[in-house]
Amino acid sequence: MATLRVLGVDPGLTRCGIGVVDALGGRRARLVHADVIRSASEDPLDQRLLTIARGLREALEGYGPDAVAVERVFSQANISTVMGTAQVSGIALLEAAERGIPVALHTPSEVKAAVTGNGRADKKQIQTMLVKLLGLDAAPQPADASDAVAIALTQLWRGGGPVALDATGGARTSAQAVWARAEREARRARERSTSRQ
């Protein structure tokens, strides 16, 4: 039986965290990949966004997630940080939508509550729980990668079990998600075949 795979994105302009997890049934999951996509702060904004977009494309195409979960942008005192985060979040949503991959947004407090049971948990508590929940020797580093893994786990576990969102925002069962993934893979194979001709 195919597993449900989720790509979590912790949007950031300098460091965009990505985490890929597979559902193993119940509340068990396996870490597939965790990393950050970096852009140089001295580069022009358009080039930084392009760097992030390329990294996200590579992750989406390389890991073939059934769903993408992105941390919802929330207001902070530093408006420039919020703007960069929002721009990267938009890129993640667009890249997923172009591939027909369902997307969900989760607030930081939802992520903390899903992973630790406490909506006010700090980063250290989240990382400690990731080690326990995923059977890791250490939490993914840097912290942006751990945050992305936590976001992916939140999507796997929301609603009491592995779900993805369909285009209307409704829940899909794991079987429906597997079917959608098979359709996407067939479409990609057709596109590759057409591009070779």
Residue in this structure with the two tokens 């591009």, named with its chain if needed = 195
Question: pLDDT tens digits, residue range 168-178?
Answer: 344 444 444 55
The pTM of this model reads 0.80
- Non-local (6+) Cβ contacts of 18 within 8 A are 7, 8, 9, 10, 33, 34, 35, 36, 37, 55, 56, 59, 145, 148
Comparing C-alpha atoms, which of 123, 174, 144 is closest to residue 6?
Answer: 174
Catalytic residue numbers, as ranges: 10, 71, 144
- 54 backbone φψ class: left, alpha, beta (φ>0; ψ -120 to 50): alpha
Give the number of domains in the chain.
1
**Residue bearing tokens 């057409």:** 194
Q: Please, what is the Cα angle at 158 between 123 and 154, to 5 degrees?
A: 25
- Is 10 marked as a binding-site residue? yes
Kindly report the CATH number assigned to the domain that includes residue 16: 3.30.420.10
Residue 57's φ and ψ, nearest 5 degrees, are -60, -45
Q: Is 42 annotated as a binding residue?
A: no
**71 labelled ligand-binding:** yes
List the domain range (segments joined by +) for residue 146.
5-196
pLDDT tens series, the chain, 197 aa: 468 999 999 999 999 999 999 999 878 999 999 999 999 999 999 999 999 999 999 999 999 999 999 999 876 667 777 888 999 999 999 999 999 999 999 999 999 999 999 999 999 999 999 999 999 999 999 999 999 999 999 999 873 333 444 443 444 444 445 545 565 666 677 777 777 76
State which H helix or E strand residue 42 sits in.
none
